Structure 1
């Protein structure tokens, strides 16, 4: 096989990444940044109750699904990775990290990965990088991950930010991804995904990824509010809606539904100022409001409806 034939088979996702498990929650995550379009679609893999994988450099994508398949049947991350490496004639140009649901970690940096390339394996995590501006990148990632307080997403993002601050990919920035899954398996696998966010093409993908994580948390609060409401915990629901709106003050969606909930509960005086702010930014929300009673999302009360619509300013 000619060298050109070999390399044409594999995406050139030279990058820095981290795989990690939070010992308190059992959640597992992988985060990555690269000067490559849509890096998350080829590098980051994960399955609740099984593990996570980062496959990069001259990427053999199959390390992701095949690694998860081996861990799913009980192989540890080190055994699974070694088995796949033994079958791969291109192992010298691969960089792969795997972590299983018990927190066991394995990482491989091929001897022909483009410098600066290397990895650091710690307790329940691994950071790895290739084609970096300098060899300071992966130690900086490890330090940031271990010293940052917060949940797993905060710590993964801190590692990416530290990598970039230490020089990052010698080519620059383009895309990033964060994937977090639960530590327990489920018959409904979609419920095992905690965070799955990608920035496909952006001049500052890590900063954009952090913005998306904040937005994701706002919508999680909104969903929590809905769950509280379904259980009759009205005050807890309203508090969750308030937190959601504070996290994403530029969005009309979150305060709108907060106000709808207040109105439905008979707390119209609290709802009206919120409706007024939302309608001032986008009057189409007032039109949407008139459609809610037919969908069963707002009681049919003409007096209440007119009071709300009176909050329109134009």
Structure 2
């Protein structure tokens, strides 16, 4: 019911996830990232515990493949789960259980991994990885480009209704967490529109948290 990617930007050290699904609010249940550690997507009959568990293991010094192997080994219903991870060195790992729904597939390269289930066809994750690697600019731009490519390559077998991107940087909270939890239109384009609005303000929102005395105004009513 989902296609997604986890990614690292080697230039900035940022991590991000991007995801879309026919299910509602997919990003709220399936996307995880931690600054300086990595990013994880836990999907397909989702167990949300696998995201924080895998990040915790990577924070302890395990590589993405090591954390994946140890983390999923604790999962009772391993055959049903699909989990993707990237670590601080750009190493990637994917677990796709044999009972993942419908047509499922995965693809990996340095700094990026993609996977999906109930896909239109098995080439969708490779299209996502290729688009991420070909894109330039901010990691958020690259995540959007990869999601669009996944949809253009066929995406899910049916229409998608929710999507989201999650980005972490040098602080303890996500610097971007943009979601479309349900629409009958295109949720990826809804998130892309939100990103275009949010991107120019991202650094200012971080600055407002760290030291609001230096934060710029954006001209909202009452903000002088």
Superposition TM-score, scaled by structure 1 size: 0.65
Corresponding position: 1:32 with 2:16: no
Superposed displacement of residue 21, structure 1: 0.4
The reply on whether 1:197 has 2:178 as its aligned counterpart is yes
Match of 1:58, SS state, is: coil
Cα deviations by residue, 1:24-81 (Å, 9 ceiling, x for unpaired): 0011111100001110111101111121110011211110111111112222211111
Asked whether 1:216 is paired with 2:203, we answer no
Change beyond 3 A, Cα 1:85–1:220: closer
Which one has the largest radius of gyration? 1
Aligned CA RMSD, in angstroms, stands at: 2.5
Q: 1:46 aligns with which of 33, 40, 50?
A: 33
Whether contact under 8 Å (2:175, 2:206) holds in the other structure is: no
Distance 1:223 1:62, change over 3 A: closer
Is residue 84–residue 92 contact of structure 2 (8 Å, CA) maintained in 1?
yes
Instruction: Give the aligned length.
Output: 222
Distance in 1 (CA, whole Å) between partners of 2:206 and 2:2 is 35
- Identify the structure with the greater strand proportion: 2
Q: 1:224 to 1:196 in 2, by over 3 A?
A: closer
- The residue that corresponds to 2:78 in the other structure is 91
Residue 114 of structure 1, CA deviation: 2.2
| SS of alignment partner, residue 44 of structure 2 | strand
Hey, what's the Cα distance between the residues in 1 that align with 2:68 and 2:206?
38
Out of 123, 130, 152, the position equivalent to 1:136 is 123
C-alpha separation in 2, matches of 1:224 and 1:91: 38
Runs of 5+ unmatched residues, structure 1 = 1-13, 232-236, 242-253, 258-284, 298-314
Distance 1:230 1:21, change over 3 A: same
Greater per-residue helix proportion: 1
Describe the superposition over 1:167-187 as per-residue Cα deviations: whole angstroms up to 9, x where unpaired. 1111211111111112x5x5x
Higher relative contact order (CA 8 A, sep 6+): 2
Structure 2 residue aligned with 1:309: none
> Mapping of 1:119-134 within 5 angstroms?
119-134=106-121
